[in-house]
Structure 1
Amino acid sequence: MKYIIISLLCLSLWACEDFVEIDPPNTIVTSEVVFDSDETALSAVKGIYNQLYPRAFSSGGENSVTVLAGLSAHTLTNLRVTNLDYIEFKDHALMPDNIRNTALWSSAYNIIYMCNSALEGIRNSSAINEELAQHLEGEVRFIRAFSFFYLVNLYGEVPLTLTTNYQLNASLENSSTEAVYEQILLDLELALAQLPMSYRENDRIYANYYTASALMARVYVYLENWQEADFYSTQLINNSDSYALEEDLDDVFLANSDEAIWQITPRGSGSSMTYTNEGGTFLFHPVLSSLTRVSLSNEFVSNLDTNDLRYQHWVGYHSGTENYYAHKYKDRSSIDNLTEYSMVLRLAEQYLIRAEARARQNDLQGAIADLNMIKNRAGIDLLSTSDPAITQQTLLEEILEERKVELFTEWGHRWLDLKRTGNIDDFFEGDSNWEANDMLYPIPENDLITNPNLLQNPGY
């Protein structure tokens, strides 16, 4: 066990630096030592899951995809006029030296490096049970695919780091978005072949076959392969023994809720704190309200239907500051009282994915049926299944609107949806700062300095 602790410490220290700058630490333990038994292999892979909670991009906290992309999409607004880093995201005036953007980029690559190290360790070890090795490799490949998904959608052409070779990583060129997506699909295809149907330890913080299916469905939506998106989302929806929409909206974000496909546990902090970063970030402190840095934007809230149960259960109002806040998570400060996990993938998204895939394939009635599942739970008017006037375009706009309301403050969905659907220029047409190049974040300045083979995104 001491080897695992030393190795994870080395990875943690390395993770504080840009992935192109660091020299190999001379105290790092080799993969062969770390993966010398089933127990050590399980511990090492569990360590990757634990790192998802404190790492910026996946944390759900102040430097996460959820917050930064929420600012870019104007779902969130900055509460501190002196917080210039946030203002750059909200005003689409990002600079390559923005420290929060650097944290977003670097932390995603931190996780990918850990995945690469684990994959090398699993492949190089003959001491691990073969079935367990397959399962662990599937889990790690899923996490790597997930991390690359956000990098390619936030930054476009990014380095495709697939080894722990420092010298190679430090000189990689930008890979095309097509190449990155090919790797994502390859990792997910292998994960699907390797992962079990059930959750390890019956805990939804670990990846299983259906977790990989859920991400595969999303990837195919982004690639506009509607038939495959339909296929994979249907696998989740049809598995009613494991997954179901929670009837009570207050139950959706509980640990291991029926709706959860994949979650991140606050236990990854390594402390006695048991609240999610989303709870700590979005909920106002009962006494020190100034600790809260972001709130829901008036622009977003003003377009919500007050009769919508999502407004009533997932939007709060802080009278002291006269701000609305995201109230999907209810716990902002618990100690040793774990009730909520950070939600990453959930069944509601799969219904929306299938609705879009069906609409794109001109199965309008099937799309309406899926969309009505979400509307029915929200307590709002259903779409008529017999409306002869509804067009494919009208239905697609309705689906995009439901995605905005259902998935707000979850993993930057709104920002990425506006981009992938080609609606982003129209949405920000009245924004004097908006330029088409703003849809991609800049590659951090430090990485460009240390790796002359990297090219900056246009406009920066």
Structure 2
Amino acid sequence: MKNKIYFWITGLSILYSLQSCEDFVDIDSPNFQMVTEDVYSKEKTTIAAIKGIYNQLYVANFSTYGVSLLGAMSGDLLIARTDTFLPFDQHELFSINTPDSSFNQNIWSSAYNIIYLANRALEGLENANINDDLRNDLRGQVLFIRAFTYFYLTNFYGEVPLLLTSDYNTNATAPRNPTEEVWLHIESDLDEAALLLNKQTEYKDGERYYVNRSVVEAFRARVYLYREDWSNAEIFSTKVIDRTGLYGLEVNPENVFRANSKEAIWQITRDGVNNFVPEEATYFTLHVNGTGTTITGNTALSDKFVSSLDSLDLRRLWIGEANTETEHAYFTEKYWFDNDGEVLQYSTTMRLAEQYLIRAEARAMQNKLVEAITDLDKIRKRAGIGLIAESNPGISKQALLDSIMTERKRELFAEWGHRWLDLKRTGKVNTVFGNNPSWQETDALYPIPGEEGLKNPFLTQNDGYGN
């Protein structure tokens, strides 16, 4: 009985989350005796349930700000400005957060909530009263979301429970699975999603916040990069880059993060919300009070990072400055508060610039240096800085790889933890931070939230954080 009640509540929560969204299908107020099986008995409610997962992505801590915020701090790009965030600040404490941290707990629990919803949807879709084309389309989208979520869980925590069912009793005592097993399942979900979404290359109504084939292939390219499968990383990034009718680098950096920009591959929003402001803006933006005497805000960009950008680099348009007579601070302006009541921006999750950088690295690792330089120079040209093909066409492989890492840092800062994960996947995290006496090698993984360990005795803790 406990499982059925849990499914019933979740089903209701999904449907309730849809009621205020203008573009969703018309749904009668849910009957309080509704169980999850009823959700998948009709095409309209089935589609609505999947849309509800997207809406939950918008409110999930891990996907709205958690990964980007903590990843940028761990990657030495952000510094904390308030006591609330000091435990996450690499400059203050390399033990990034404690097992009982609420922020750490929120990332973990919100990610597993998305996985629960995905698993429940996959189970419901098996016998849903819909045609097979729609079933395959929706299943492909849900498989991708599950793989996407596990990607961040395993990259931040290492070994994590691989939950593939919505059964409460099974999940409540699940131990952590080996990292390799999690990676293999991420790849399996993505491969199946790519097959199911093979014909879905366009965006419905031009809105880039639903998963299609290109989204899956772009993320598959990233996974291949992390897995050091250079050939496939090149192949899959090329698939996306070659869709020039859909994608292109925005000439003006100020347009990159706009809703449905040509550079966007996948964005997150809450469908039907008329005054959308990305949650990241709350945590990355600084403000000067009305009297011009005080700067308020949670985090600031490190001076060291800002100074690493060439004075002519157009990506400085993504950096704001807050000034008073006694204080000066830089902050990220990739996320905007001011939208004049219009939907000007969604949260950008994947974009074309990353695909060029993925392909550049993959090509360089295969000794295709000329082609790698061409890809890297696409990013440098948009930034308005000198081209390697002109200044150093005979660059060595290692120097080119170092340049690619530098451009990844400059281009993708404060986006989805790229810098932190790049340092870890390339084995440079200890080199970069090893001179700091506070750094321990075990800091490369976040702690399993203490609350989770209390609920599940089979959930062991990462090294360096006690039992």
Deviates more, 1:337-346 or 1:424-433: 424-433
* d(CA) in 1 for partners of 2:285, 2:33: 40
From 347, 368, 374, give the equivalent of 2:373.
Answer: 368
- 2:102 is the alignment partner of 1:96: no
Aligned to 2:19: none
* d(CA) in 2 for partners of 1:387, 1:29: 66
From 326, 344, 349, give the equivalent of 2:332.
Answer: 326
Q: Is the 8 A contact 1:68 1:89 kept in 2?
A: no
Shift of 1:454: 1.5
Q: Is the 8 A contact 2:8 2:34 kept in 1?
A: no
From 206, 211, 214, give the equivalent of 1:210.
Answer: 214
Q: Secondary structure at the match of 1:275?
A: coil
After superposition, what is the alpha-carbon deviation per residue over 1:267-291, rounded to whole angstroms, capped at 9, x for unaligned? Answer: 35x8653211123332223537654
- 2:139 is the alignment partner of 1:143: no
Aligned to 1:107: 110
Aligned to 2:20: none
Shift of 1:352: 0.1
Q: Is the 8 A contact 1:316 1:326 kept in 2?
A: yes
Structure 2: gaps of 5 or more residues:
1-6, 17-31
Pick closer, same or farther for the CA change 1:236–1:189 going to 2, 3 Å. same
Aligned to 1:309: 314
Q: What TM-score do you get using the length of structure 2 for normalisation? A: 0.89
* d(CA) in 2 for partners of 1:428, 1:28: 55
From 126, 129, 132, give the equivalent of 2:131.
Answer: 129
* d(CA) in 1 for partners of 2:78, 2:441: 21
Shift of 1:157: 0.5
Pick closer, same or farther for the CA change 1:177–1:5 going to 2, 3 Å. closer
What pairs with 1:377-392 in structure 2 (closer than 5 Å)? 377-384=382-389, 387=392, 389-392=394-397
Q: Secondary structure at the match of 2:300?
A: strand
Runs (4+) of structure 1 moved beyond 6 Å? Answer: none
**What is the aligned-residue identity percentage?**
45
Shift of 1:384: 2.2
* d(CA) in 1 for partners of 2:451, 2:136: 37
Structure 1: gaps of 5 or more residues:
14-26
Aligned to 2:225: 221
- Which residue type is aligned with residue 359 of structure 2? R
Shift of 1:197: 1.3
* d(CA) in 2 for partners of 1:345, 1:225: 20
Q: Secondary structure at the match of 2:79?
A: strand
Aligned to 2:190: 188
Deviates more, 1:29-38 or 1:336-345: 29-38
- 2:237 is the alignment partner of 1:237: no
Pick closer, same or farther for the CA change 1:412–1:83 going to 2, 3 Å. closer
Shift of 1:327: 1.1
From 74, 77, 89, give the equivalent of 1:75.
Answer: 77
From 370, 387, 398, give the equivalent of 2:403.
Answer: 398
Pick closer, same or farther for the CA change 1:388–1:136 going to 2, 3 Å. closer
Pick closer, same or farther for the CA change 1:458–1:115 going to 2, 3 Å. same
Shift of 1:388: 6.3
Aligned to 1:57: 62
- Which residue type is aligned with residue 196 of structure 2? Q
Aligned to 2:119: 116
- Which residue type is aligned with residue 55 of structure 1? A
Q: Secondary structure at the match of 1:53?
A: helix
Shift of 1:28: 8.4
After superposition, what is the alpha-carbon deviation per residue over 1:52-83, rounded to whole angstroms, capped at 9, x for unaligned? Answer: 111100013xxx10001111111000001464
Aligned to 1:293: 298
- 2:159 is the alignment partner of 1:157: yes
* d(CA) in 2 for partners of 1:448, 1:318: 41
From 253, 263, 281, give the equivalent of 1:249.
Answer: 253
Q: Secondary structure at the match of 2:58?
A: coil
Q: Secondary structure at the match of 1:132?
A: helix
Q: What TM-score do you get using the length of structure 1 for normalisation? A: 0.90
Pick closer, same or farther for the CA change 1:28–1:107 going to 2, 3 Å. farther
Structure 1 vs Structure 2 CA RMSD: 2.2
* d(CA) in 1 for partners of 2:92, 2:64: 20
* d(CA) in 1 for partners of 2:387, 2:35: 58
Deviates more, 1:273-282 or 1:253-262: 273-282
Q: Secondary structure at the match of 2:282?
A: helix
- Which residue type is aligned with residue 216 of structure 2? A
Aligned to 1:16: none
